[in-house]
Amino acid sequence: MMMSTFMPVVLWSDGLLAVLLAVMVAFVFYVRRRPPLIEAWRKVGGSAAGMASATVLLFFMAVGVLDSLHYRPLLPGKAGAAPQYSVEVKSALDALLSDLREKSEKTYSAPLAAHLFAKQTVEMEGRQVREFPRLKHGGAHLADPPRQWRDDLEDRIWVGLGYAALAWLGCVLLVTLACARGVGLAGACVNVWAARTVVNWRAVLITLGLMFAVVGPVAVLAEGYHVFGTDKVGQDVLYLSLKSVRTALIIGTLTTLVMLPFALMMGIVAGYCGGWVDDLIQYLYTVLNSIPGVLLIAAAVLMLQVMIENNAALFATAAERADARLLALCAILGLTSWTGLARLLRGETLKLRELEYVQAARAFGVSGVRIMWRHVMPNVMHIVLIAVVMDFSALVLAEAVLSYVGIGVDPNTVSFGSMINAARMELAREPMVWWSLSASFVFMFLLVLSANLFADAVRDAFDPRLARRVRLPRFFKKA
Amino acid sequence: MLAYFIRRLLYAVPILIGVNLATFVLFFVVNTPDDMARMQLGHKRVTPEAIEKWKAERGYDKPLLFNEKAEGAAQITDTIFFEKSVKLFVFDFGRADDGRDIAHEISSRMGPSLAVAIPVFLLGLYATVSLALLLTLFRATYLDFWGVVVCVAMMSVSSLFYIIGGQYLVSKVWNLVPISGYASGIDATRFLILPVVIGVIAGIGSSTRWYRTLFLEEISRDYVRTARAKGLSDSAVLFRHVLRNALIPILTGVVVVIPLLFMGSLLTESFFGIPGLGSYTIDAISAQDFSVVRAMVFVGSVLYILGLMLTDLSYTWVDPRVRLG
């Protein structure tokens, strides 16, 4: 019998992420049957900024999902003996990037360097010499780094660009073929590049082109170098940055997933029922709201640390423990952030309750629960959607700050916050170690910026009030 | 007016009780004092005596809610709930782990916190309102478009990077002001310039965009059309009519944070070494000093509720149509 070479591990956050993806797929099917929603999503699809940012977000999501397929590799053991699995939990992304993961150096090295960043005493022909030692992996294929380094880099960048061009042309072809129905290939070409398609493919293709032009060379360079350098213990910074993406995504999405049922139920029930139920729910969220967010989170995380410390036996691996902490952080962030959405929903429900169709449903004797479920909830969903996408970027930013303060993710979890925290100490060094900070800055900026732009596109499409607000009176425009 | 204010004050009482109960549950019921002791003393090889000693030092050795051993009123008062939670109402916070009186510490650290927070607040408000007005004046032009793009980009940068980048550029490369530190009196200025400037810049993105939306909303009103129709210039309408009306939501939106300025900013203070309440909180969090965190939670809530009340009052002040009663 073939022994499997790994044991799949489903961490809680992996499971919840899968649930989230399933919800998204279900939502797509839900939207497909409702023309008004299709119309709104078409607006998002037609917006250049929206589609460009969605492309970048999808890339990050792919990284995050790959990093969420966890397993424990089989340890080499005697034939016939019971299989032993490593206690180290890896992910599909780790397997893909095993090169980056395993090629670690001794300590700091600058991006694309062939030598360590600091002088070390090494033994050469029996003498002790202080010099910059060669890296074990970065540029190890070069016989004479100072002379070959430049040419090698250029070669690799060109090869990378070549791959990128190929991949990009493939995408262009696919898109053109997909849009060719009814207009022919030439017509599709014109339509795509004049941005006359329903989905703004031009924006997608341009973004893809830019992304490939960066990812291609980086991928080829990463085979022989540490593109973003290495950190204090010699880990590749590019690898760490890619790993941080999952943490950011989990915090940004699962927090909302956790708090959403709460906010929906509380908001709608408070608005619909009124009376003492309303008073009670309002009291609850005023109390939660009046505790400053950071302090509430700090207090809860402190207590969480105590709990995890005292129940260490519950977790089989370090990864499970870190995962529990990550999820708990999501829950705590959710606990502090549901109040805002609940208040919005309550206000909207108060308005909807008085509308004719709800009155009619009540007159027909439809039960309260059913009215809330069938008639009120679908009509507040646009608020929920807007809140969800707008919260995402705020949560990603919050994670970095919280981890910096020491009340964020587990120290073993790679995240933007922990990267910044580790890199901050090195700013005082002379010369400065700038690369881990820059890498986390670039990745975080791209992620949050695209999330912000996408949120704007969604809000513009779904918030009718806003559309009216931004349309200016004609006479007011400058001549 | 006075009656309304008193009623608001009475409203605040149940909310504060709720906050107090929530912190009590969080700090003493979710984890027992024994758990906390074990955590702080290092959870391996902790003798029961050491735990008892730790608890006795902090007054955690009493029963939670009801003391059966005591007599009379002491049955209620000689408990953790009364000692640690009820006493918060009279701002008796007890002592921190290092033995200092928390209430005294808080009052002496408010000054430095305010020295940073008030300039950041005022300058930030001034800068963002001006920028938003500028964008509104040039609405539907390239300036407006790129202004909004820059705002969104600035919103997407973590505040950590503003601080780190600012410290690096201004203090390390240009050597203009000290990287961190604090002095009392007028000497403090040179320590305060950088945190204030960074605080203002970090807030520009989101506030400017938000105020611009408010201005645009105001501009589509009928009175603006009337003012234009009677021949007022675009800028006259903007500054004299739109600005004044849009200030209502802006002011009432910022009033709620005024009391919270006392709390200082966690990040700014810890990066710049300013001995305010923000760095006090951060130190307490990293030292896991539960009593300080508990005290700060309570103070923060009191200030927030105060902010809500001020918001209501400010409505009557800026908008004469609103009458409270």
Q: What is the pLDDT of residue A168?
A: 93
- Answer yes or no: is pLDDT of B34 > 80: no
Q: How many CB atoms lie within 10 A of CB A263?
A: 24
The chain B residue lying nearest A473, using CA atoms, is B220
Percent of residues, chain A, with pLDDT higher than 70: 94
The mean pLDDT value of chain A amounts to: 83
pLDDT digits (tens, 9 = 90+) for A345-379: 998 898 888 889 988 998 998 888 999 988 888 88
Decide if B297 and A427 are in contact by the 8 Å CB cutoff: no
Distances (CA, A) of A72 to A84, A219, A455: 10, 26, 37
Read off the pLDDT band of A4 (50, 70, 90): low
Read off the pLDDT band of A468 (50, 70, 90): very low
The chain B residue lying nearest A332, using CA atoms, is B26
Q: What is the pLDDT of residue B112?
A: 87
Q: What is the pLDDT of residue A418?
A: 87
ipTM for the predicted complex comes to 0.85
**Residue B260 is nearest to which of A292, A401, A404, comparing CB atoms?**
A292
Q: What is the pLDDT of residue B323?
A: 66
Q: Give the residue from A383, A381, A376, A408 showing the smallest Cα distance to A395.
A: A408
For residues B175-194, average pLDDT: 80
> Which residues in chain B have Cβ-Cβ distances shorter than 8 Å to A407?
285
Q: What are phi and psi of A124, to 5 degrees?
A: -135, 120
For residues B31-58, average pLDDT: 74
- Answer yes or no: is pLDDT of A3 > 70: no
The chain B residue lying nearest A403, using CA atoms, is B160
Cα A205 to Cα A25: distance, rounded to the nearest angstrom? 24
- Answer yes or no: is pLDDT of B237 > 70: yes
Range from A180-184, B52-56, B129-133, B174-178 that averages highest in pLDDT = B129-133
**Residue B155 is nearest to which of A312, A424, A452, comparing CB atoms?**
A452
pLDDT digits (tens, 9 = 90+) for A402-442: 888 878 888 778 888 888 888 877 776 767 778 888 899 99
DSSP-derived 3-state class of residue B8: helix
Read off the pLDDT band of A472 (50, 70, 90): very low
Decide if B217 and A471 are in contact by the 8 Å CB cutoff: no
Q: Is A285 on the interface with B (CB under 8 A)?
A: no
Cα A254 to Cα A246: distance, rounded to the nearest angstrom? 11
Decide if A292 and B297 are in contact by the 8 Å CB cutoff: yes
For residues B117-130, average pLDDT: 92
Q: Which of B285, B288, B309 to mutate to test the interface with A (most CBs of A within 10 A)?
A: B285
Decide if B219 and A472 are in contact by the 8 Å CB cutoff: yes
Q: Can you spell out the DSSP letters for A395-438?
A: HHHHHHHHHHHT-SS-TTS--HHHHHHHHHGGGGSSS---HHHH
Q: How many CB atoms lie within 10 A of CB A285?
A: 20
The two tokens of residue B300 are 């923060």
**Residue B18 is nearest to which of A283, A397, A477, comparing CB atoms?**
A283
Decide if A309 and B220 are in contact by the 8 Å CB cutoff: no
More confident residue, A465 or A246: A246
- Answer yes or no: is pLDDT of A476 > 60: no
pLDDT digits (tens, 9 = 90+) for A287-328: 888 888 888 888 888 888 777 777 777 777 777 888 888 888
DSSP-derived 3-state class of residue B62: coil
Strand partners, A73: A6
Dihedral sign for Cα atoms in the order B197, A415, B288, A332:
positive
Helices (H) and strands (E) in chain B, counts: 15, 0
> Which residues in chain A have Cβ-Cβ distances shorter than 8 Å to B304?
289-292
The mean pLDDT value of chain B amounts to: 83
Distances (CA, A) of A26 to A19, A20, A32, A257, A380: 10, 10, 10, 15, 18
What's the length of chain B? Answer: 325
Decide if B152 and A456 are in contact by the 8 Å CB cutoff: yes
Percent of residues, chain A, with pLDDT higher than 90: 17
What's the length of chain A? Answer: 479
* Residues within 8 A of B (CB atoms), A 137-156 only: none
Q: Is A57 on the interface with B (CB under 8 A)?
A: no
Q: What is the pLDDT of residue B130?
A: 92
Read off the pLDDT band of A479 (50, 70, 90): very low
Decide if A298 and B293 are in contact by the 8 Å CB cutoff: yes
Q: Is A474 on the interface with B (CB under 8 A)?
A: no
Number of inter-chain CB pairs under 8 A, A vs B: 151
Cα B292 to Cα B281: distance, rounded to the nearest angstrom? 7
- Inter-residue contact A210 to A161 (CB < 8 Å): no
For residues A272-280, average pLDDT: 89
Q: Average the pLDDT over each of A13-22, A461-470, B197-206, B211-220 and give the range with the smallest value.
A: A461-470
Q: What is the pLDDT of residue B153?
A: 92
**What contacts B103, CB < 8 A, 6 or more positions away?**
B91, B92, B93, B295
Q: What's the gap in Å between the CA of B113 and the closest CA on chain A?
A: 16
Q: Which of A47, A303, A402 to mutate to test the interface with B (most CBs of B within 10 A)?
A: A303
Q: What's the gap in Å between the CA of B280 and the closest CA on chain A?
A: 12
Strand partners, A130: A121
The chain B residue lying nearest A282, using CA atoms, is B15
Q: Give the residue from B262, B152, B260 showing the smallest Cα distance to B207.
A: B152
Q: What are phi and psi of A157, to 5 degrees?
A: -65, -40
Stated pTM of the model: 0.88
More confident residue, A479 or A168: A168
The two tokens of residue B233 are 């210039």
Q: What is the pLDDT of residue A245?
A: 92
**What contacts A112, CB < 8 A, 6 or more positions away?**
A138, A139, A153, A221, A225, A226, A227, A229
**Residue B158 is nearest to which of A401, A432, A473, comparing CB atoms?**
A401
More confident residue, A389 or B322: A389
- Answer yes or no: is pLDDT of A107 > 60: yes
* Strand duo A90-91 + A127-131: pairing: unpaired
Q: What is the pLDDT of residue A54?
A: 93
Read off the pLDDT band of A143 (50, 70, 90): confident
Q: What is the pLDDT of residue A37?
A: 86
The chain A residue lying nearest B214, using CA atoms, is A469
More confident residue, B255 or B32: B255
Cα A373 to Cα A381: distance, rounded to the nearest angstrom? 11
| CA angle (B279, B280, B284) in 5-degree steps | 115
pLDDT digits (tens, 9 = 90+) for A130-141: 777 777 777 777
The chain A residue lying nearest B21, using CA atoms, is A287
The chain B residue lying nearest A469, using CA atoms, is B217
- Answer yes or no: is pLDDT of B111 > 80: yes
Cα A240 to Cα A250: distance, rounded to the nearest angstrom? 16
- Answer yes or no: is pLDDT of A386 > 90: no
Decide if B156 and A406 are in contact by the 8 Å CB cutoff: no
- Answer yes or no: is pLDDT of A451 > 90: yes
Cα A223 to Cα B118: distance, rounded to the nearest angstrom? 52
Alpha helices by DSSP H, listed for A67-183, are: 92-96, 98-102, 145-178
Q: What is the pLDDT of residue A478?
A: 36
- Inter-residue contact A395 to A251 (CB < 8 Å): yes
Read off the pLDDT band of A445 (50, 70, 90): very high
Q: What is the pLDDT of residue A62?
A: 92
Distances (CA, A) of A348 to A267, A455, B213: 9, 20, 21
The chain B residue lying nearest A439, using CA atoms, is B161
Decide if A294 and B140 are in contact by the 8 Å CB cutoff: no
pLDDT digits (tens, 9 = 90+) for A44-90: 888 888 899 999 999 999 999 988 888 888 777 766 667 777 777 88
**Residue A309 is nearest to which of B22, B43, B301, comparing CB atoms?**
B43
For residues A191-219, average pLDDT: 88
Read off the pLDDT band of B187 (50, 70, 90): confident
For residues A320-343, average pLDDT: 86
Instruction: Quickly tell me which residue has 């990284």 as its tokens.
Output: A63
pLDDT digits (tens, 9 = 90+) for B255-286: 888 888 877 788 888 888 888 888 888 888 88
